Chains A and B, each alone.
With several copies, the nearest count.
Chain A
Amino acid sequence: MKLTILVHSAPYSSQAAYSAYRFTESALAAGHEIQRVFFYYDGVHASNGLSTPPQDEFDLVKAWQALIEKHELDAISCVSSALKRGIMDAREAHRYEKAAANLAEGFVLSGLGQLVDASLSCDRVVSFGA
């Protein structure tokens, strides 16, 4: 089946951010197709490339990055949620005259339309943290 994953919660603050990752990993292992992973609201914190957890703790940003790369996942961080929360790519940093960009590699900033579009063309949507 084609699945869309929607993530509402932040790593380190809610287990839901981790659950979304484990579910996606298991769905891929079971042979399903991931149409899109959409990070929304506090979920966008998973795409902060500056995230640096202690070495003995699970690094959810890196885990997502590895999964995204391995399976060529379409991983979108909602641009309006991300900008509010201080996560941006080089293009947005330029637009808003910020000195730095911090979107983690593998993630793409885009709008809510990408969530609706995926929801309309996939078989199942699963939400985490809502």
Chain B
Amino acid sequence: MEMTPKTLTFIARSTPYGSGRAKALLDMVLSAAVFDQNINLLFMDDGVWQLARDQQPGMIDAKDLSAALGALPLYEVNNVYVEARALHERGLTLDTLAVTAIPCDDAHITALIAQSDQVFAL
């Protein structure tokens, strides 16, 4: 008997390099991806900075987070969302992101959370 897949939603709200939180959330997502569940990844607030193009983290001896995000499709993490308001507030646009993401308004985010069995934010 197969168990019904659950829905796990991960909310990335941290800047990419100021702390290790962005990387820590991404590691959680990749770990969850191998469990064959429904995975949502949502970038909100300052988390959208993780999606900025042309990051050169080698300048501060850090690993490239946007490159790691580019590997999400290999893990079959395809439900990648971004808060449209957060992009706008930061002068970012969908077509200048390092990663393809589905824009969300507040109602869409509310629905994502309400449909989730568990939600993790970092």
Question: B17, A116: Cβ atoms under 8 Å?
Answer: no
Q: Which B residues lie within 8 Å of A127 (CB)?
A: 120-121
Tell me whether A112 and B120 are in contact in the complex, defined as CB-CB below 8 angstroms, given that A12-B20, A18-B61, A40-B24 are known contacts: no
Closest B residue to A111 by beta carbon equals B31
Q: Which A residues lie within 8 Å of B20 (CB)?
A: 12-14, 41
Q: Chain B CB within 10 Å — which of A22, A56, A119 has the most? A: A119
How many A residues face the partner with a CB closer than 8 A? 26
Residue B76 interfacial (CB < 8 Å): no
Residue B85 interfacial (CB < 8 Å): no
Tell me whether A15 and B28 are in contact in the complex, defined as CB-CB below 8 angstroms, given that A125-B120, A130-B121, A130-B122 are known contacts: no
Closest B residue to A21 by beta carbon equals B61
Residue A50 interfacial (CB < 8 Å): no
Question: B31, A116: Cβ atoms under 8 Å?
Answer: yes
Residue A8 interfacial (CB < 8 Å): yes
Q: Which residues of B contact A (CB under 8 A)?
A: 6, 8, 17-21, 24, 27-28, 31-32, 34-35, 37, 60-63, 117-118, 120-122
Q: Which residues of A contact B (CB under 8 A)?
A: 6, 8, 12-15, 18, 22, 40-41, 56-58, 80-81, 111-113, 115-117, 119-120, 125, 127, 130
6 inter-chain pairs at a CB distance below 8 angstroms, sorted by A residue, are A15-B19, A58-B62, A113-B31, A113-B35, A115-B31, A125-B118
